[in-house]
């Protein structure tokens, strides 16, 4: 199911205090950029944010980040890089 332009507009409106937020439509979904760097996307009308250290630190409601990798080995590799400050 593709994301709606209305939901993407709603998300961008919530981020309107930030300069340099952009998006690119891709195959019915939206990739989100801040200062030309990917920080997340809108998929099936859900906002997904990369769990980089800055996003985790600024998470005001302590919303849980879900890993999107398919195998436990990939999840563990991501956790190790996260803990080492490499991700």
Among candidates 34, 40, 43, which has minimal Cα distance to 1?
43
44-78 pLDDT tens trace? 998 888 877 777 777 767 666 665 555 667 667 76
pLDDT of residue 83: 74
Whether 82 has a pLDDT exceeding 80, the answer reads no
Whether 18 has a pLDDT exceeding 60, the answer reads yes
pLDDT of residue 64: 64
Over the chain, what is the mean pLDDT? 81
**Residue 42 CB-density burial (10 A; 0-12 exposed, 13-18 middle, 19+ buried):** buried
The mean per-residue pLDDT over the stretch 8-22 comes to 92
pLDDT of residue 21: 92
The full set of domain ranges for the chain reads: 1-50, 51-87
Q: By three-state DSSP, how is residue 3 classified?
A: coil
pLDDT of residue 86: 58
């Amino acid at each position: 199911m593709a994301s709606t332009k209305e939901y993407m507009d709603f998300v961008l409106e919530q981020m309107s205090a930030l300069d340099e937020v952009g998006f690119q439509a891709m195959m019915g979904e939206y990739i989100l950029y801040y200062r030309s760097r990917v920080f997340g996307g809108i998929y099936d009308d859900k906002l997904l944010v990369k769990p980089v250290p800055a996003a985790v630190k600024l998470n005001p409601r302590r919303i849980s980040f879900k890993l999107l990798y398919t195998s436990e080995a990939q999840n563990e590799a991501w956790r190790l890089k996260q803990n080492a400050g490499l991700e």
